[in-house]
Amino acid sequence: MPRPRKLDHAGPRRVRAASAHKRARLLDATEEIILREGYAAVSSRSVAARVGIQAPLVHYYFPTIDDLFVAVLRRRAERNVERMAAALASDTPLRSWWEVAADPRGAALLMELMAAANHRPALRAEVGDVAREIRRMQMRTLDSLLVEYGLDPDELPPALIAAAMQGLAFGLVADEVAGYDTAHAEARAATTRLLERLERRRRVPAHADRRRAGPRGS
């Protein structure tokens, strides 16, 4: 009597891992095309050529180009939310926030996705959701931080600080990527110096120190 065949429980896991790896390669390729050539250069053929597969396989993982754009945005947004949360919880929240917001690669990719969203309603909705989530997180943190920096929240409300930081970062990165001679390097350096001065004069209440440090072990 033949012995029953053992079930290969690792099989489905290997398939899922291989599928995730292929999706990641497609997303990586799409990001590179967006950054090098702009969002309009993204197609199933251009992505497939960069990965070295046939174009129909791109649609196996992403049925439409909208699905591909949305997946790129969601992956980048997840990373950005994590990085922004870590920055705002750091010992130098404003300077660390600026470093995340003014990261050339991340900001350039987001700007291209925002441009693509003007022509793709599904992507536009996703961009709006991401922007709203990050802005709310920033403003919640600023509600408690502004006083520590000696800033009057009535004169400089969280909404203004958040919009100014993000807008300045986008403007600088846009000029850097385009190669415009707009003194963007000087503006970036001056912004960094300003934020460093603010960090040096920041005064954190003792109770805030304890709260942010978290519970201590016994």
- Please state, in angstroms and rounded to a whole number, the distance separating the CA atoms of residues 203 and 72: 39
DSSP state of 214: -
Tell me how crowded residue 57 is: count the other CB atoms within 10 A of its CB.
15
Q: What is the pLDDT of residue 205?
A: 67
Q: How many CA atoms lie within 13 A of 76 on its CB side?
A: 29
Asked if 65 and 42 count as a contact pair (C-beta separation under 8 A), the reply is yes
> C-alpha angle with apex 172: 87 to 126, nearest 5 degrees?
65
Instruction: Count how many residues are written for the chain.
Output: 218
Domains of the chain (ranges, CATH numbers): 10-63 (1.10.10.60), 65-213 (1.10.357)
Which pairs with CB-CB distance under 8 Å and at least 24 residues apart come from 121-127?
Answer: 122/66, 122/70, 123/66, 123/69, 123/70, 123/73, 126/70, 126/73, 126/74, 127/73
Q: Which residues of the chain have pLDDT under 50?
A: 209-218
Q: What is the 3-state secondary structure (H, E, C) of 79-121?
A: HHHHHHHHHHCCCCHHHHHHHHHCCHHHHHHHHHHHHHHCCCH
Look up residue 125 and give its two tokens.
Answer: 């909705």
Between the alpha carbon of residue 188 and those of residues 7, 58, 95, 120, the distances in Å are 59, 39, 12, 32
Dihedral sign for Cα atoms in the order 102, 89, 130, 140: negative
Q: Give the position of tokens 């046939």.
A: 54
Q: What is the pLDDT of residue 214?
A: 42
Q: What is the pLDDT of residue 218?
A: 37
